[in-house]
Structure 1
Amino acid sequence: MSELACPCGLGLYHQCCAPLHLGNTQAQSAEQLMRSRYSAFAKHDVDYILKTTAVGQQSALDMTAIVDWAKSNQWLQLEVVQANEKIDKNHGKVEFKAHYHDGKQAQIHHEVSHFVKFQQQWYFLDPTTDQQITMKQNCICGSGKKFKQCCAQFV
């Protein structure tokens, strides 16, 4: 088995993010999911990016753009600035800096991402989807609650 470092920076890939990417285990925290998503970008595993996005947002993702973004950059390092796993009962947020090289120069993507835990599984709430969501419709996370009472403040 390869002894390659995990792109997320925490140990060896086969022990760190690979079990998540292969579906053998689930992220136990918002930070772990965010780290595994960074590693998925570095490994060009866009299927993992899709399946770890909130279920109600998956069909709205621009998969071509995600593939292009993942493949057109060399992913250098992940820096977790801070993680708050308990904004409320089912939401967390992670502030991070993704260091990458775009083929011309080094870049830093600085973001505060929000996550939701639904049926014991963490999902990314993508604020970039072009969805028309009303406050009274069912939430994008699948909780059955109205959007305004669940994930609205995080997207």
Structure 2
Amino acid sequence: MGSLNAAAACPCGSGVNYAACCGRLHRGDAVAATAEALMRSRYSAFVAGLADYLQATWHASTRPAELDLSADAATKWLGLEVRAHRQQDASHATVEFVARWRVSGRGQRLHETSRFVREADGRWYYLDGDLH
């Protein structure tokens, strides 16, 4: 866990360096323009161990009271594949993705379709998701 190298490729898989991609969102210099951008930034926040960012981008109606990422210290994040981004209307969207990581040499994957909502402040928030 910890900070990411600003000049390195962003973990979200955009092909852009971290500082110009998810780093802008993590620093508060920009907000996610789409639900997909927010989902990518949340993946990068897991990689960097940014629990505060994850909490701040989780919708208040489903946000856990605490988010402890200390158990993720041994996690090696392997990549993110965005399979679909669907905009239902101006305030609702879904993002289907597969995230991969390794813990103690064992590969893991999460395949989820996440739901996002845009609030009156114009910001997207993670609401919840369905596992595949």
Residue 137 (structure 1) aligns with? none
**Any idea what the Cα deviations from partners look like across 1:70-120, whole Å, max 9, x if unmatched?**
434211100001111x21331000000001002231111111000000121
Residue 77 (structure 2) aligns with? 75
The reply to whether residue 35 of structure 1 matches residue 40 of structure 2 is yes
Relative distance call for 1:110 and 1:30 in structure 2 (3 A) is: same
Q: TM-score when scaled to structure 2? A: 0.85
Q: Percent identity?
A: 38
- The alpha-carbon deviation at position 56 of structure 1 amounts to 3.0
Structure 1 unaligned regions, length at least 5: 129-155
The reply to whether residue 3 of structure 1 matches residue 4 of structure 2 is no
Residue 104 (structure 2) aligns with? 103
Residue 47 (structure 1) aligns with? 52
Show the 5 A alignment for 1:84-95: 84=86, 86-95=87-96
Residues in 1 aligned to 2:123 and 2:59: alpha-carbon distance in whole angstroms: 10
Relative distance call for 1:75 and 1:92 in structure 2 (3 A) is: same
Relative distance call for 1:93 and 1:70 in structure 2 (3 A) is: farther
Relative distance call for 1:61 and 1:97 in structure 2 (3 A) is: farther
Please give the secondary structure, in 2, of the residue aligned with 1:57.
coil
Structure 2 unaligned regions, length at least 5: none
Residues in 2 aligned to 1:80 and 1:15: alpha-carbon distance in whole angstroms: 19
List, as ranges, runs of 4+ consecutive aligned residues in structure 1 with deviation greater than 3 Å.
none
